[in-house]
Chain A
Amino acid sequence: MIAYSWFIMPYAARASALGGTAVLKFHEEKLITLDVLAGGFGGVVIALAAAGMILSFRHHFHRERERFLLGWFAGLLLFFCLLDYVYRAGAIILFKENFTAFTPSRFLAFMGCPLVIFAGFGLKNFIERISKRLPVKYWRIIIPAFGLIAIVCAIPVIAKTAAKQAIRPEVIKFARIMRESTPENAFIFDRLQLTLNERCWLCYLTWRQTLLSPVLASENRKKVYEEKLFYLENNFKSPEKIEDWMNKRELECYMFTLDRQGNGQMIKLFRRR
């Protein structure tokens, strides 16, 4: 504990800066209800994990490793529950705003580790019980078939989340034009019809500031909020305000549009004073 506290000290010293981040006031994540949670983990994993947990509770809890596993799981579930439900309910009642603290889905993501270990234990017990009734030759078909079904079921999820599927090739092409034809301090507006995912990726693909820079809750999001709010309030109705705002931040403002042939072109909106 003492050895590791040394590494935590620099972070603890920055605790006073928490107010500037969205750590304690995180709006982006909506409530994760039980049905969404069950859908995310999968019914089979949850059923097997519940069976595994009950079986290990009956037979193996004298062992340290099962106790550790249960404590790990319960701790993560407790933090998720307190942040996503209790903290959120408190925020709604006291501040009339729907926000949470930290990122509760992170606790769920890490909870997947002890959950699948319990599920594996449940599956092992299930196979052991059935294998006594079925001859080995059937298992030579059942196990590969089970593996094949698991892979086939995972394909749509992998395809959906893979970056190449999430971003259209023309957006990657446009991003390259944006990057090559602007300086490093460019702030790029665009009139493209992009999905939220593509818009999130755009600032990484261009390595320029855009309207939606995905910043972690623990980072300083004040600037990002200011930019979003500023754009929503002005939306090019008063270009002189945007010009002042860009100049103050030493940014150069560009607009990316498409011509009639569908070719991308960069237009410099204001000249820096």
Chain B
Amino acid sequence: MTFEKICIAVIIFCLLIMTAGTVMAKLHILF
């Protein structure tokens, strides 16, 4: 199950980064 867990962790990490980036873009912070 290690490989699946790494993949799920990567997907969650990406979603978090993308959510933060989207919020920052909407608020015109950085992006």
B residues 7-28 near A (Cβ < 8 Å) are 7-8, 10-11, 13-14, 17-19, 21-22, 25-26
B19 / chain A contacts, CB cutoff of 8 Å: 34
Residue of B nearest to A67 (CB): B3
Interface residues on A, range: 20 to 34
| Chain A-chain B contacts (Cβ-Cβ < 8 Å), number | 57
User: Are B8 and A78 closer than 8 Å at their CB atoms?
Assistant: no
CA distance A80 to B11 in the complex (A): 11
B-binding segment of A81-89, A145-153, A169-177, A242-250: A81-89
Main secondary structure of the interface of B (DSSP, over half): helix
User: Are B31 and A88 closer than 8 Å at their CB atoms?
Assistant: yes
Given A33-B22, A34-B22, answer yes or no on A85-B11 (Cβ-Cβ < 8 Å). Answer: no
Residue of B nearest to A78 (CB): B10
CA distance A48 to B13 in the complex (A): 21
User: Are A61 and B4 closer than 8 Å at their CB atoms?
Assistant: yes
B7 / chain A contacts, CB cutoff of 8 Å: 70-71, 73-74
Task: List 16 A-B residue pairs with CB atoms under 8 Å apart, sorted by A's residue number.
Answer: A31-B21, A31-B25, A31-B31, A33-B25, A34-B19, A67-B4, A70-B4, A73-B7, A73-B11, A74-B10, A74-B14, A81-B13, A85-B18, A88-B31, A92-B30, A93-B30
What residues make up the interface of A, taking CB atoms closer than 8 Å to B? 31, 33-35, 37, 57, 61, 67, 70-71, 73-75, 77-78, 80-81, 84-86, 88-89, 92-93, 98
What residues make up the interface of B, taking CB atoms closer than 8 Å to A? 1, 3-4, 6-8, 10-11, 13-14, 17-19, 21-22, 25-26, 30-31
